[in-house]
Every structure is written in C-alpha cells, then in structure tokens.
Amino acid sequence: MFYNYHLHPLSRYPGPLLWTINRIPFALSLQSGRLVHDTKAFHDRYGKIVRLAPNELSFIDAAAWQDIYGHRKRGHKEFTKNPIWAQPAPNGVHSLINAAEKDHPRMRKPLVPAFSTRALKEQENLIQGYVDLLLRQLARRVKSGNSVVDMKYYYNWTTFDIIVCCPFRTFGQLVDDARAISGLGSHSTALKEIAIIHGSRSCLDISKMAH
C-alpha cells in the first residue's frame, strides 16, 4: 500500500485514497453497479483525470479519446489490452475485441468500411427512427396511465431492433410491439455475472494490483 500511494508511477494522479492503494473498492463498485456513478462523482471532485485503482486511470478529456482509442501515430506502440478484461475464449481463440496487435488488423479490416464516417452517417436516419419510436411508445404508456415504466426492457428492445436492422436491413418490431422474446432478457443477467467475475479477477490477480 505504501508503494501504491507514494512510489507507484501513477501516484501523482489524484483519486480517492482507498481506491488508489487497493483494487478492492473498484471491484466492489463494479460488482454493485455503482462504478459509473462513483466515477462521475470522482471526476466532479478531482478533475479530468482520476486514479480509480492502483494501476488504472479514468479520463474525461476529449483529447484522451483520440490518444487512447484513435489511430496510432507513427512511432507509437499500441496500448496493451488489460488482461483482466481481454481474456481469450476457453478454447484459446481470440476475438476482435481481445486480439493481439499482430492479429487485430487482419480481423478488423473486413469491418472497417461499416464504421467509416460516411457509413455511420448513412445509418443515422435508421437509428433516429427507432429512437423516435421508443419515445412514442413511452408517451403512449404514460397517456394510458402507466406512469411507471421499466426502462431496461425498452432499451433492450430498441437496441436489439437497431442491431438487427443495421446489418440485415430487416425491420425489428420489438419496441414497436413493446414485447419481449425468449432469451433476450438473459443478457442483463450475463452482464451482472461478468461484472462479478471481472471484479473478483482484478482483486485476485495480485500482480496487477501493484504494477
């Protein structure tokens, strides 16, 4: 703990004391679903750069987005993916999300055209249509006297419809019908399980706590 607070390479960045010396507070916040709210509160208090764990920083500066996620500049090496999050599948095969630098360009190349600025702008009307539909459905629920709405289901239906429609040009009808399909709600449970797994892994991996 002394090393993490005084000698660690990230010790010069501000953050809540207990979070900067140990990963347990970060893990508990992640597992409880409070991490996004805690992070927002810390940025309000400490500024654009916050140390959320001994070896983890959070940035809200616009320039950081390009530096971290944008195209690499000449001479800059790729940021190594966090091994706590980027775990290979049980069969050892990496996906596009967790592929190593030598494999990632090959896997990314076929998908690049779909995420160009031009391609994304062409999808804007489609996505906006589903957002408008979502708002109409919510307004309809309120007018019918159902003022309490579980937004989880409506967000699930809307995103599922968009995901289906964008690549396949098949009109999704879940949000239009305001109905669920078998298995669609299970991903919420899966996300909670992932948070528990990653939170536990980050604490149990002692080598990652001090470096």
Query: What are the pLDDT digits (tens) for 4-42?
Result: 888 899 999 999 999 999 989 998 898 888 999 999 999
Predicted local distance difference test score (pLDDT) of residue 105:
83
Where along the chain do its domains lie? Answer: 2-79+190-209, 123-180
Task: Check whether 184 has a pLDDT greater than 90.
Answer: no
| pLDDT mean over 150-157 | 81
Task: Check whether 44 has a pLDDT greater than 90.
Answer: yes
Closest CA to 152 of 142, 160, 162: 160
Range of weakest confidence among 10-24, 46-60, 117-131: 117-131
Range of weakest confidence among 65-69, 127-131, 190-194: 190-194
Answer with the residue of higher pLDDT: 141 or 20: 20
Q: What letter does residue 113 receive in the DSSP assignment?
A: G
Task: Check whether 141 has a pLDDT greater than 90.
Answer: no
Q: How far is the C-alpha of 114 from the C-alpha of 26, rounded, in Å?
A: 35
Q: How far is the C-alpha of 154 from the C-alpha of 178, rounded, in Å?
A: 7
Tokens for 104?
Answer: 């990632």
Identity of the residue numbered 176 = D
Task: Check whether 2 has a pLDDT greater than 70.
Answer: yes
Task: Check whether 143 has a pLDDT greater than 70.
Answer: yes
Q: How far is the C-alpha of 80 from the C-alpha of 94, rounded, in Å?
A: 14
> By CB neighbour count within 10 A (0-12 exposed, 13-18 middle, 19+ buried), where does 191 fall?
exposed
Predicted local distance difference test score (pLDDT) of residue 42:
97
Task: Check whether 126 has a pLDDT greater than 80.
Answer: yes
Predicted local distance difference test score (pLDDT) of residue 206:
44
Q: How far is the C-alpha of 40 from the C-alpha of 54, rounded, in Å?
A: 18
Tokens for 28?
Answer: 């508990």
Predicted local distance difference test score (pLDDT) of residue 210:
41
Mean pLDDT of the chain: 79
